[in-house]
Structure 1
């Protein structure tokens, strides 16, 4: 069947519906030969798929030496990690683990890292004091790594948060590493960690005050952290930046492990964009989001499913927000709620096509889950609650209207709400999560990916500039950690 991206000039009238939504509207059934449809004026897909696939087949992305060589590299890095764990230099151990996490290779050595951190947790905390020359950077790093790895720790037992009047002493010492480390650690706060809120505020003020006097390399690091702390960044994007910024400080073995991780090939399926000319055709951006949520190479099947789900969600969003008429959407929503193979509603062609893709994709995913894990997820799809959709003003605009505040005041209120939400995420993921570590981190990464995609604009609706640069850096440009 040849697909036409525009709706036919004549179509069948809808049958009356007995649903509560339709009854509430109390509108007669409309027949229209040419329904008025809005356009979001989304820019077209800017990727050349032929050139893209050709570049991904370039031998430069192949791992030289094969799996055996990589296993040898991992063994060398593991030996270094174990040796550090046997030593007495706690700050050095912490820095090595932090480097491996930020490079994106820590998952290869998870058991060793957890063992070392558990041992560190059982020892006396490294002293943290702003009145003397205590190692504030190491103490804050210790707290952050323990909390990131779900080892129970409180700021009270691990950090002696200084009073605000001690900030002058820290500024006089130009303790940039201490300020930066404590600032990063403060973003791992739980709901009752008010002292970390105070620490975050005066560390940010101190770093901004010292910024003009820093050398370019350190200044770049401070600006990067103040923009978005590492805890809120997509892990793969943060790893890419960290590698380039600290390449000279990274061991040879770690660099070669990094090269392998970033040269793994990837693929994406396309097709919906050819059928729905009115919607956003963003398959690569969908994969980029999925990779931000689940980036572990061992979870490729999950990443593939997420890419499809995000792609379908984008097309659904455009149908509800932009293209579909009210009558069409009522019937379409009812059909989705019943989840039948052939919907009883009379739907226009473009809706029937998307419904078919949704139905077949969900069945395919459910079948794979049943085969691999013996768990039937179809019941969850049938019981899913309906979501209200439509054009809505931004949260900032709503706050300005309801609270009669300025845009700046409303933005500050949204930032406070975001901070509260992140505290809840931290507590649920790192303190009392009842699910697997992989699922917990996928939930955290979902929030991180939102920062990544929408920082500075709509990176999904108009994926130019920053988002396009991210995709090129992660998947397309040649990568070599040995180069500065």
Structure 2
């Protein structure tokens, strides 16, 4: 029964579009997954033999590793790839001085080592400049090389001016080269300009590349078949997971009990899947999706329904963290609080089983701090207050939600993330600050106009415009530059030696990548039409064999 306060309160309810995926994901047969696993096992061994044989030539070895990554099967050979790259890096340190390496080979080898955390000097590209310090015009005769240089440039860090020049040079010229290239290559260029590799979640990047790889003149048919079968095999597992998430949503009756909240469990799953898609993360992928759903509901509760008084009581209940706190909550916050307790009980049990119970208090603390920052934004809205950009970011980078999401993601990594990794994350290292900047600014850039249609706290766009007395156009340009600078920071923090295992850092990079996926052209979470085609390619449409 709703209380009088709950019925009469003013609520700035948003008009969200409906779930476009309802009833599209149903449980699939485990036998199909098992059958495909048996079919790919001999192909996997053949591809492994190819990988080991490629080690005879360091350049070809790196290129083959790149192909494994790009078709989405490198997770099968992580140890072998790590050992081979480390061996090449140590034994062939003069690899880039080989003058016979063309722009394509140089760019691919540079990018592969950078992607795996090896600090390769960007000076290797100096040999492709003319006497005036500009990239040579004849590079445009090699469209594939230009595309490779473009992708390599996105691994840049602060101060690498030659990579900034490379990005500008390739971006401009690839647009014109696309019009002169074959339809196959033109499509590849267009996609790369919109979705560069370092900004694309690995699973989607693999799906995209497979469509190009099978038309390539140098296609390895065994590898192609292996990659296609493996993609379809893992897709079956992902469909099963989505069906479990859909059941979780229905069992909790969120649609009826929290009608003000966005029903986005498929989009939430896409977020979790982009962070870790490998089969052995099934349980934690489902847990992370539930956490993202919970965060989305909390966001809408603070942003588009609740009152400060009601939600302060919810925060107080979270701090108590006991079932008895339910008696002091409104009907809708009771639903939210019950969901919190149930989900965290699952996390407790799974972490206990894996011997990582030390991680759970960090996640609980992150959830409480998230709710408190949501409340701070809510009070700004309530008071009609427009903070300085710096003050806004001190709160709003926290409501990007990545602090909590990463605590759960680290927990999913098992004992790779010891207690020192959680302490490191809690202290907000540089990579975390950079990720939060990307998450907050990209969201604000595409969503602020929709949000300002109702009573809502100001976004970074409004705060920056007011503080600097500039137009929206100039403000957006400045904020987008901050996003690019933050990605450079992430690239730098992923370079060896690292403060924590690189596997943990890659989860943060993947969060940045999925942020670009959802907010590149619009708010793809709130308005699912922006991400519909990507989700279909990931979870609905299998690859034709």
Give the TM-score band, short-chain normalised.
Answer: 0.7 to 0.9
Residues 135 and 166 of structure 2 are in contact (CA less than 8 Å); yes or no, is this contact kept in structure 1? Answer: no
Residues 139 and 146 of structure 2 are in contact (CA less than 8 Å); yes or no, is this contact kept in structure 1? Answer: no
Kindly state the Cα deviation for residue 366 of structure 1 after the two structures are TM-superposed.
2.0
Q: Please tell me whether residue 119 in structure 1 is matched to residue 87 in structure 2.
A: yes
- 166-175 or 312-321: bigger deviation: 166-175
Match of 2:469 among 404, 412, 415: 404
Kindly state the Cα deviation for residue 66 of structure 1 after the two structures are TM-superposed.
4.8
Correspondence for 1:24: none
> In 2 relative to 1, CA 343–163 (structure 1 residues): closer, same or farther, beyond 3 Å?
farther
Residues 286 and 310 of structure 1 are in contact (CA less than 8 Å); yes or no, is this contact kept in structure 2? Answer: yes
Q: Deviations over 1:400-422 (max 9, x none)?
A: 33223333322221221111111
Correspondence for 1:107: 75
Q: Please tell me whether residue 413 in structure 1 is matched to residue 478 in structure 2.
A: yes
Correspondence for 1:324: 306
Kindly state the Cα deviation for residue 317 of structure 1 after the two structures are TM-superposed.
0.4
Q: Secondary structure at the match of 2:324?
A: coil
Correspondence for 1:52: 25
Q: Please tell me whether residue 260 in structure 1 is matched to residue 227 in structure 2.
A: no
Correspondence for 2:48: 78
Q: Deviations over 1:304-363 (max 9, x none)?
A: 111010000010000000000121122222222332332277211110121011022112
> In 2 relative to 1, CA 179–359 (structure 1 residues): closer, same or farther, beyond 3 Å?
same
Aligned equivalents of 1:64 and 1:253: distance in 2? Answer: 20
Aligned equivalents of 1:159 and 1:296: distance in 2? Answer: 38
Q: What is the TM-score of this pair, normalised by structure 2? A: 0.75
> In 2 relative to 1, CA 62–227 (structure 1 residues): closer, same or farther, beyond 3 Å?
same
Q: Please tell me whether residue 69 in structure 1 is matched to residue 134 in structure 2.
A: no
Correspondence for 2:390: none
Aligned equivalents of 2:101 and 2:185: distance in 1? Answer: 21
If asked which structure has higher relative contact order (CA below 8 Å, sep 6+), I would say 1
> In 2 relative to 1, CA 178–342 (structure 1 residues): closer, same or farther, beyond 3 Å?
same
Q: Please tell me whether residue 43 in structure 1 is matched to residue 17 in structure 2.
A: yes
Residues 128 and 135 of structure 1 are in contact (CA less than 8 Å); yes or no, is this contact kept in structure 2? Answer: no
* Superposition pairs of residues 268-347 of structure 1, within 5 angstroms: 268-269=244-245, 270-271=249-250, 272-343=254-325, 346-347=328-329
Q: Secondary structure at the match of 1:52?
A: coil
- 326-335 or 228-237: bigger deviation: 326-335
Q: Please tell me whether residue 448 in structure 1 is matched to residue 513 in structure 2.
A: yes
Correspondence for 1:217: 184
Residues 174 and 210 of structure 1 are in contact (CA less than 8 Å); yes or no, is this contact kept in structure 2? Answer: no
Q: Deviations over 1:100-142 (max 9, x none)?
A: 101110111122222332233221224477xxx8501111111
Q: Secondary structure at the match of 1:95?
A: helix
- 448-457 or 203-212: bigger deviation: 203-212
Residues 127 and 135 of structure 1 are in contact (CA less than 8 Å); yes or no, is this contact kept in structure 2? Answer: no
Q: Deviations over 1:52-90 (max 9, x none)?
A: 31xx5379x92585544322111000111111112x3x4
Kindly state the Cα deviation for residue 208 of structure 1 after the two structures are TM-superposed.
2.8
Aligned equivalents of 1:297 and 1:467: distance in 2? Answer: 23
Kindly state the Cα deviation for residue 230 of structure 1 after the two structures are TM-superposed.
0.7
Larger Rg: 1
Aligned equivalents of 2:493 and 2:205: distance in 1? Answer: 23
* Superposition pairs of residues 453-468 of structure 1, within 5 angstroms: 453-464=518-529, 466-468=530-532
Aligned equivalents of 1:136 and 1:154: distance in 2? Answer: 15
Aligned equivalents of 1:237 and 1:467: distance in 2? Answer: 12
Correspondence for 1:471: 535
Q: Deviations over 1:371-406 (max 9, x none)?
A: 212433343245443323333333333323322333
Aligned equivalents of 2:69 and 2:332: distance in 1? Answer: 45
Q: Please tell me whether residue 373 in structure 1 is matched to residue 373 in structure 2.
A: no
